[in-house]
């Protein structure tokens, strides 16, 4: 039987937004939780790699929805690692509600030396790589990572301690919150998210100021975060009423 880590989550009221739909940040946090638990049981989790000075850093995440996940739903997340390619580690996710597939996702990671941030090949996982039950089944197709630059400044914010993780920079899931603030409540109330993508290129550390930009294109909306003029993260969202 093909490997998958599977977990059903009881969703909390605080996981939902003002429309009583599961907030993108909450979904990303649950996907990341499942990915970390899967890595733990496969022998290349945080506790396995940290003593060796290694870690996984996410570089791209993509989620698409079959329908909104609404208040009252509890979700089951399935995830598995795809066969790695050189320094690229992809992971697939399937999200269901009582057997109905409501969302699918792909995340892309790199294994790095935490001192030099040199990207490493799977062989550095040693036996965990050799024994890993990789599964070559995609749940979604990851869009190209090249996202057009956004040019219209929308807002500014400081990265606070509450947004940082054990790598001492803003946790990747928090960017879904940051970019949500590039929209008004009126805009989001009138539209449903069909899919979104976040591409991570630089870390934002505690105390740094993020400047957020946005542009509306013909088929999607793009946003980006910059620190001292340098792009750290980009976001692309497709709404249900767009081609």
- Domain encompassing residue 217: 152-239
Question: Quick one: 65 and 125 in the same domain?
Answer: yes
User: What CATH number does residue 109 fall under?
Assistant: 3.10.129.10
pLDDT band at 166 (very low <50, low <70, confident <90, very high): confident
Q: For residues 102 and 99, what is the distance between their CA atoms, to the nearest angstrom?
A: 9
Where do runs of H (alpha helix) occur along the chain? 24-42, 46-49, 127-131, 175-180, 185-189
Question: Quick one: 111 and 158 in the same domain?
Answer: no
Residue 26 domain flag: yes
Here the contacts of 183-192 (C-beta below 8 Å, separation 24 or greater) are 183/214, 183/221, 185/18, 188/17, 188/19, 189/18, 189/19, 191/239, 191/240, 191/241, 192/65, 192/68, 192/239, 192/240
Q: For residues 144 and 125, what is the distance between their CA atoms, to the nearest angstrom?
A: 27
Question: Quick one: 28 and 122 in the same domain?
Answer: yes
**Domain count of the fold of the chain:** 2
pLDDT for residue 242: 63
Residue 138 domain flag: no
186: Cα separation from own chain's centroid:
25
Residue 143 domain flag: no
Residue 222 domain flag: yes
Q: For residues 139 and 34, what is the distance between their CA atoms, to the nearest angstrom?
A: 15
Q: Which residue has the tokens 């580690």?
A: 89
Residue 137 domain flag: no
From the CB of residue 178, how many other CB atoms can be counted at a distance below 10 Å? 22
Residue 29 domain flag: yes
Give the 3-state secondary structure of residue 73: coil
pLDDT for residue 145: 86
pLDDT band at 1 (very low <50, low <70, confident <90, very high): confident
DSSP character string of 144-176: PS--PPP-EEEEEEE--GGGB-TTSBB-GGGHH
pLDDT for residue 167: 84
Q: For residues 34 and 78, what is the distance between their CA atoms, to the nearest angstrom?
A: 8
pLDDT band at 243 (very low <50, low <70, confident <90, very high): low
Residue 125 domain flag: yes
Q: What confidence tens digit (pLDDT) does each residue in 91-134 have? A: 999 999 999 999 999 999 999 999 999 999 999 999 999 999 99
Q: What confidence tens digit (pLDDT) does each residue in 175-221 have? A: 999 999 999 999 999 999 999 999 999 999 999 999 999 999 999 99
pTM of the predicted model, to two decimals? Answer: 0.94
pLDDT for residue 131: 97
Q: For residues 12 and 29, what is the distance between their CA atoms, to the nearest angstrom?
A: 13
From the CB of residue 116, how many other CB atoms can be counted at a distance below 10 Å? 8
């Amino acid at each position: 039987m093909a490997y998958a880590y599977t977990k059903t989550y009881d969703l909390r009221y605080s996981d939902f937004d003002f429309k009583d739909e599961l907030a993108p940040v909450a979904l990303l946090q649950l996907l990341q939780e499942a990915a970390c638990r899967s890595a733990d049981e496969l022998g290349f989790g945080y506790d396995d790699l940290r003593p060796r000075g290694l870690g996984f850093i996410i570089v791209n995440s993509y989620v698409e929805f079959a329908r909104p996940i609404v208040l009252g739903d509890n979700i089951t997340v399935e995830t598995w690692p795809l066969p790695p390619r050189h320094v690229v580690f992809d992971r697939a996710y399937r999200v269901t509600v009582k057997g109905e597939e409501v969302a699918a996702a792909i995340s892309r990671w790199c294994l790095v030396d935490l001192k030099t941030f040199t990207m490493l090949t799977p062989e550095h996982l040693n036996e965990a790589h050799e024994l890993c039950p990789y599964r070559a089944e995609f749940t979604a197709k990851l869009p190209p990572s090249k996202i057009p630059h956004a040019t219209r400044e929308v807002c500014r914010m400081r990265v606070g301690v509450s947004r940082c993780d054990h790598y001492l920079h803003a946790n990747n899931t928090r960017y879904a919150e940051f970019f949500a603030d590039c929209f008004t409540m009126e805009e989001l109330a009138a539209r449903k998210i069909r899919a979104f993508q976040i591409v991570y290129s630089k870390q934002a550390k505690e105390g740094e100021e993020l400047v957020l930009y946005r542009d509306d294109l013909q088929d999607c909306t793009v946003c980006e975060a910059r620190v001292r003029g340098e792009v750290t993260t980009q976001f692309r969202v497709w709404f249900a009423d767009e081609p």
